[in-house]
Chain A
Amino acid sequence: MENQTLEDQSLENRTIEILLVEDNASDIELALRAFKKNNIYNKVHIVKDGAAALDYLCRTGPYAALQGYPQPKLILLDLKLPKIHGLEVLRKIKSDERIKIIPVVILTTSKEEQDLIESYKLGVNSYIVKPIEFDNFIKVMSELGLYWLLLNKLPYK
C-alpha cells in the first residue's frame, strides 16, 4: 500500500535522495517504515531488480524522461537481486563515469566473506548487514540516512 502511494507521485516532482534496490516486499515495507520514522520517506525511490536499478541511474528504458534530473545522494543495494546480481550492478555503477561518484551502500542479509571482499574491491562505500531485530534495523536505517544525507558531503548537488 505504502509503496503505491509513493509511486503515485511522479518522479519528476520529487527529490530522490535514496535509491533503494530491493526485491523482498517485506524488506521494502520495513525499510519504508524506518524511513518514515526518519522523515525521509518521500525521498526514496524503489526498484526491485538489478536491471531496473541500472535503468534508473543511466536514465534509460522507463526512466528516459528523467534525463538531466539530479541523481540520488545514496544507493542502497541488496545483493541477491532478480535479473542482475547486486555485485554486477555495483561493478557497472563503479565503471560508469557518469554515476561512479554516487555513494553505494550494500544493504544485505549475509556477511559472506567473498561478497564483502568483492564489494570492496569493486569500490563499495559501505557494507551493512540488515539486523534481524527490528529495533536495530530501524536504528541502522536512521543512522544510514543521517550519515549519508546530512553529514556526508558530496561533490555534486
Chain B
Amino acid sequence: METILEATNEIFIGVEAKKGYNSAILNILDDFVIEKERLQQLQRASLNLLDDMYEERIGLERTQRAIMNILEDIEAEQQRAKRSQQLLEAANKELEAFCYSVSHDLQAPLRAINGFAQVVVEDYASKIDPEGQRYLRLIQENSQLMGKLIQDLLGFSRLGRQQLSSTEIDMEKMAKEVFDDLKLHMLDRTIQFQIDPLPWAFGDPAMIHQVFVNLLSNALKFTAIRDVAMIEIGFRQEGDEGFYFVKDNGAGFDMRYVDKLFGVFQRLHTTEEFEGNGIGLALVKRIVTRHGGRIWAEGAVDKGACFYFVLPKEMR
C-alpha cells in the first residue's frame, strides 16, 4: 500500500511537474508567438519602408528626368540663342558693308555733280545768264545738302552699332562747355543762359556731349526769333527718378505733334523758318535710350520748349 501510495504520489508529483513543464512550454510558445508577431510587424514595417523607398526612388527618377528635360531645353534654347546671335552678327556685318558702300559710292557722284557745276560756273560764266547761274548754284546747294543728309544718316546708323563706353560725367561742366562753344558762333545775339547745379551721370562722354550739342543747338536755333533768348539747363528729382532738362523760350511746338519730334527726318518747321534736316533729336533719343534712359518733351507754339532726359545713375 505504502508503495502504491508512494508510487501514486510520485506519479502525482510527476504529473504536477509535467503540468509545470507544460505550462512553461506553453509560456515559451506564447513568447514565440509574440516574438513572431513582432517579427512579422517588423517585416511589414520593413516592407512598407521598402515600398516607400521604391516610391521615393521613382519620384527621384521622375525629378531627374524632368531636370534632364529642362537641361535639354536650356541647351536647345542656348543653341537657338547662339543661332540668333550669329544671324544678328551677320546682319550687322551686312549693314556695315552697306553703310560703307553708301558712304563711299553715294558721295562720290555728289562730289562730281558739285564739282562740275562749279567748273561750268568758272569756265562758262560769260555764256550763262544770271538765271542759268542761279540754277547752277541750286544744283550745288542741293548736292551739298544731300551730302550732309548722307553723312547724318550714316552717323545715325553707326550710333546704333557703336560700343558704348561708361564713365562718370560732370554734366554741369560738359553742358557749360558745349554752350560756350556754340555761343562763339553767335556773338551778335543776346542770350540769357542759366545753368543749375547738375549731378554727375554715367555714360559715354562723346555721346552725351552730342546730346548737349544737339539740344542746345536746337534751343539756340529756335530762339533766334527772340530779342532776348532764354535758355536754362537744370535738374529735377521726382521720387526715385531724377532728370536733366534743357528749356528755351523759342518757337516751341504743338504738343499734338510731340510723337513726331524724335522721328528720323521728321520736322515740325519748314527749312525756310528754321534750317535742319530732322535728324538731331532722333540722334539724341537714340543716344539716351541706348544708355538705358528716356527722353520726352513739352512745349507750346510760340511758348518755348523743354526737353527732359533721364540717364542711369550707376555704371552698367
Q: Which residues of A contact B (CB under 8 A)?
A: 24, 26-27, 30, 33, 79-80, 108-110, 112-113, 130-135, 137
In the complex, the answer to whether B114 meets A109 with C-beta atoms within 8 Å is no
* Known A-B contacts A132-B147, A134-B118, A135-B118; A108 and B112 likewise in contact (beta carbons under 8 Å): no
User: Chain B nearest CB: distance from A120 CB in Å?
Assistant: 18
* Known A-B contacts A109-B103, A110-B103, A132-B143; A27 and B118 likewise in contact (beta carbons under 8 Å): no
Pick the residue among B115, B140, B144 that contacts A26 (CB under 8 A): B115
What is the chain A residue whose CB lies nearest that of B102?
A110
In the complex, the answer to whether B111 meets A26 with C-beta atoms within 8 Å is yes
In the complex, the answer to whether A109 meets B118 with C-beta atoms within 8 Å is no
Number of chain B residues whose Cβ lies closer than 8 Å to a Cβ of chain A: 23
Answer yes or no: B12 CB below 8 A from chain A CBs: no
How long is the Cα–Cα vector from A137 to B147 in the complex, in angstroms?
Answer: 14
* Known A-B contacts A110-B100, A133-B114; A33 and B119 likewise in contact (beta carbons under 8 Å): yes
How long is the Cα–Cα vector from A33 to B103 in the complex, in angstroms?
Answer: 24
In the complex, the answer to whether B100 meets A112 with C-beta atoms within 8 Å is yes
Which residues of chain B from 111 to 144 have a CB within 8 Å of any chain A CB? 111-112, 114-119, 140, 143-144
A-B contact pairs, 10 of them (CB 8 A): A26-B116, A33-B119, A109-B104, A110-B100, A110-B103, A131-B111, A132-B147, A133-B140, A134-B114, A135-B118
Known: A30-B112, A133-B114, A134-B114. 13 other contacts (CB 8 A): A24-B112, A26-B111, A26-B115, A30-B119, A33-B115, A80-B104, A109-B108, A110-B154, A112-B100, A112-B103, A132-B114, A134-B111, A134-B119
* Known A-B contacts A30-B112, A132-B143; A79 and B104 likewise in contact (beta carbons under 8 Å): yes
Q: Within 8 Å CB of A132, what residues of B?
A: 107, 110-111, 114, 143-144, 147
* Known A-B contacts A132-B114, A132-B144, A137-B115; A27 and B108 likewise in contact (beta carbons under 8 Å): yes
Which residues of chain B from 131 to 177 have a CB within 8 Å of any chain A CB? 140, 143-144, 147, 154, 158
Q: Within 8 Å CB of B143, what residues of A?
A: 132
**Which of A27, A109, A134 is packed against the most chain B CB atoms within 10 Å?**
A134
* Known A-B contacts A80-B104, A132-B143, A132-B147; A109 and B111 likewise in contact (beta carbons under 8 Å): yes
In the complex, the answer to whether A110 meets B111 with C-beta atoms within 8 Å is no
User: Chain A nearest CB: distance from B148 CB in Å?
Assistant: 8
What is the chain A residue whose CB lies nearest that of B158?
A113
Q: Within 8 Å CB of A137, what residues of B?
A: 111, 115
How long is the Cα–Cα vector from A137 to B249 in the complex, in angstroms?
Answer: 40
Pick the residue among B107, B112, B115, B117 that contacts A110 (CB under 8 A): B107
How long is the Cα–Cα vector from A133 to B107 in the complex, in angstroms?
Answer: 11
What is the chain B residue whose CB lies nearest that of A135?
B118
